[in-house]
């Protein structure tokens, strides 16, 4: 983190944050095998239905970086879109998260864990600008932000 | 850049006849709440400043024809920085935190004058 801090300081005046949105639909249910059926029902309520339920998720990915003096870009938006599609949407759109997305074979696919999974998928694939925030809206009223581990 | 490099870098945005956007601008200011007014600053003053200093200058205009973009490409990154600098010069009533500019419903840019943004 220290290296990143120095980098920020060096490019202090031209750091711009860019946010790109994408939408996807997926289904999930909440169940912890360590809990009893009663506990699962009590803690997760309707979300514990093993047949699952769907959401129209909105994903917002924010990257930060210095503006390239030649192109005027922080990052090529088209490339960012392609990375988001390849790493996240192709794997999660119209999928049953519990059964089809490996992260959720062992973790409960809450919006919190979904934001973390998206971060972990995108982080190693972004080279031009650094990942700043992953925001996942489960519904228009509810979203989770993840800034990576600090 | 060469003709080919411009085409490769900017794609459809390199069309010399230009293209338009319906930009949405968000300006965030901060400051102590004035005890007598209950306000950080008067929103009417902020609206007037944004209108007279930014909208009058850029609304329905060809950005490439503005002098600040005679040598700089009018990407939304650069426009965002310009607007921040204009408002920082012209709005004295509160601290300018950041300027956020939506180019389309699917992408936006934010500049805080070099400060870290935590939201």
Tell which CATH classification among 3.30.479.10, 1.10.30.50, 3.40.140.10, 3.40.50.300 matches the domain B22-111: 3.30.479.10
Which residues in chain A have Cβ-Cβ distances shorter than 8 Å to B112? 15, 17
CATH code for the domain in which residue A118 is found: 3.30.479.10
A76: Cα within 13 Å, side-chain hemisphere = 14
Please answer yes or no on whether A15 and B114 come within 8 Å at the CB atom: yes
- The residue ranking higher by pLDDT, A12 or B17, is B17
Q: What is the pLDDT of residues A123-137, one digit of tens each?
A: 999 988 899 999 999
Rounded Cα distance, B85 and B53, in Å: 11
- Measured in angstroms, the CA of A122 and the nearest CA of chain B are apart by 17
Q: Taking a C-beta distance cutoff of 8 angstroms, is the pair B23, B100 a contact?
A: no
Q: Strands of chain B (E only): list them.
A: 24-30, 95-104, 107-111
Other beta carbons less than 10 A from residue B35's beta carbon: 6
Nearest to A72 among B72, B106, B107 (CB): B72
- Please give the tally of structural domains in chain A: 1
Q: Please judge whether A19 and B110 are an interchain contact, meaning their C-beta atoms are less than 8 angstroms apart.
A: yes
Min distance B44 CA to chain A CA atoms (Å): 28
pTM for this entry:
0.86
Tell me which residue in B9, B112, B114 faces A71 most closely, judged by beta carbons. B9
Task: Give me the interface pTM, i.e. the ipTM.
Answer: 0.83
For residues B95 and B29, what is the distance between their CA atoms, to the nearest angstrom? 5
Instruction: Find the residue in B nearest to A144 (Cα).
Output: B119
Q: Which of B72, B75, B77, B81 should one mutate to test binding to chain A, selecting the residue with the greatest count of A CBs within 10 A? A: B77
- Give residue A149's pLDDT: 86
CA distance A20 to chain B (A): 4
- Residue span of the structural domain in which A55 resides: 2-146
Residue B118 has pLDDT above 80, yes or no: no
Summarised one tens digit per residue, pLDDT across range B75-109 is 999 999 999 999 999 999 999 999 999 999 999 99
What residue spans define the domains of chain B?
22-111
Count CA atoms closer than 13 A to A149's CA, side-chain side: 3
Q: How much is the CA Rg of chain A, to the nearest whole Å?
A: 18
| Mean pLDDT score, B5-11 | 93
Query: Please, are residues B40 and B34 in contact by the beta-carbon 8 Å criterion?
Result: yes
Helix (H) or strand (E) holding A53: strand A53-66
Q: Rounded mean pLDDT of A56-74?
A: 94
Closest partner residue to A70 (CB to CB) among B1, B112, B119 is B1
What pLDDT does A8 receive? 40
Active site residues of A: 47, 94, 138
């Amino acid at each position: 983190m220290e290296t990143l801090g120095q980098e920020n300081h060096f490019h202090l005046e031209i750091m711009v944050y860019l946010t790109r949105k994408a939408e996807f639909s997926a289904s999930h249910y909440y169940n912890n095998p360590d809990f009893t059926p009663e506990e699962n029902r009590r803690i997760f309520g309707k979300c514990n239905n093993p047949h699952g339920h769907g959401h129209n998720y909105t994903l917002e990915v924010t990257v930060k970086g210095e503006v390239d003096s030649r192109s005027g870009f922080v990052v090529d938006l088209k490339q960012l879109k392609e990375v988001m599609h390849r790493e996240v949407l192709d794997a999660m759109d119209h999928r049953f998260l519990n059964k089809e997305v490996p992260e959720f074979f062992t973790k409960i696919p809450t919006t919190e864990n979904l934001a973390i999974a998206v971060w972990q998928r995108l982080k190693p694939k972004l080279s031009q600008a650094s990942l700043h925030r992953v925001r996942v809206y489960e519904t228009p009223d509810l979203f989770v932000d993840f800034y990576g581990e600090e | 850049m060469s003709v080919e490099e411009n085409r490769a870098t900017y794609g459809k945005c390199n069309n010399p006849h230009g293209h338009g956007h319906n930009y949405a601008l968000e300006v965030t200011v901060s400051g102590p709440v004035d005890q007598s007014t209950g306000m950080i600053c008067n929103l009417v003053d902020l609206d007037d400043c944004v209108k007279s200093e930014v909208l009058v200058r850029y609304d329905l205009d060809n950005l490439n024809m503005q002098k600040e973009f005679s040598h700089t490409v009018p990407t939304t990154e650069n426009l965002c920085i310009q607007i921040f600098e204009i408002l920082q010069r012209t709005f004295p009533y509160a601290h300018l935190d950041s300027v956020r500019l939506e180019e389309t419903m699917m992408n936006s840019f934010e500049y805080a004058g070099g400060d870290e943004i935590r939201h």
